[in-house]
Amino acid sequence: EVQLVESGGGLVKPGRSLRLSCTASGFTFGDYAMSWFRQAPGKGLEWVGFIRSKAYGGTTEYAASVKGRFTISRDDSKSIAYLQMNSLKTEDTAVYYCTRAPREVYWGQGTLVTVSS
Amino acid sequence: DIQMTQSPSSLSASVGDRVTITCQASQDISNYLNWYQQKPGKAPKLLIYDASNLETGVPSRFSGSGSGTDFTFTISSLQPEDIATYYCQQYDNLPPITFGGGTKVEIK
């Protein structure tokens, strides 16, 4: 059974950093791209970015709203994808989800990041 | 970036009614469109992929159609468990992946 579990969320002050983890199981992690999405309270869904599998170079793409501040990485030996979030802003407050790409059938339960002073 | 215009933003219908949601892309996206269902406090659930393909395990009362710029999502007979917010999502010419604004479906 495919499972994705996000962790690392919490309350953080503006300008600080936070790293989220997405621990995967039930599939060969290294064969898949992994995506991150977010949803601000009471708002719609927003794509954050993704990381391709090593077979496709392991390269990353980001939404304009986070480019230069957020970094996605992966550790295939541990089946974990990471979302490093730097220079956090209040507007980054959201539930963050990881998914297996493409065709996002599998989602984690989400982890809440609150950016507030 | 490709903009997705989804309508209506909310609707109220009776159990058994046919419900239709539309999504218009700002440019041709072929059939690179998904439809998701999201219930409060839960992660989105993929219902339809590639505009018209029903994801495994999804009830057949859900369907999708369209290509190019105009897409339709239909619930043929609304059930109480279908109360949720529905989103279209395009994945052509990424990045970025973009979503419609969502349609909140309620029971009348």
CB A47 within 8 A of CB A39: no
Q: What does the block give as tokens for B83? A: 């109360």
Is residue B64 within 8 Å of B74, Cβ to Cβ?
yes
Written as tens digits, the pLDDT of chain A (117 aa) is 999 999 999 999 999 999 999 999 999 999 999 999 999 999 999 999 999 999 999 999 999 999 999 999 999 999 999 999 999 999 999 999 999 998 888 999 999 999 999
Whole-number Å distance between alpha carbons of A115 and A113: 6
CB proximity B94 to A under 8 Å: yes
Residues of chain B below pLDDT 70: none
Please report the number of interchain residue pairs, chain A to chain B, with beta-carbon separation below 8 angstroms: 45
Mutate to test the interface with A, among B38, B92, B97 (most CBs of A within 10 A): B97
Nearest to A47 among B36, B43, B96 (CB): B96
User: DSSP labels for A85-115?
Assistant: E-S--GGG-EEEEEEEESS---B---EEEEE
- Cis amide linkage into residue B44, ω under 30° from 0: no
Contact A44 B44 (CB under 8 A): no
Distance from the Cα of B76 to chain A's closest Cα (Å) equals: 22
What per-residue confidence (pLDDT) applies to A105? 87
Backbone angles phi, psi at B105, to 5 degrees: -105, 125
Q: What is the pLDDT of residue A68?
A: 97
Whole-number pLDDT of residue B51: 97
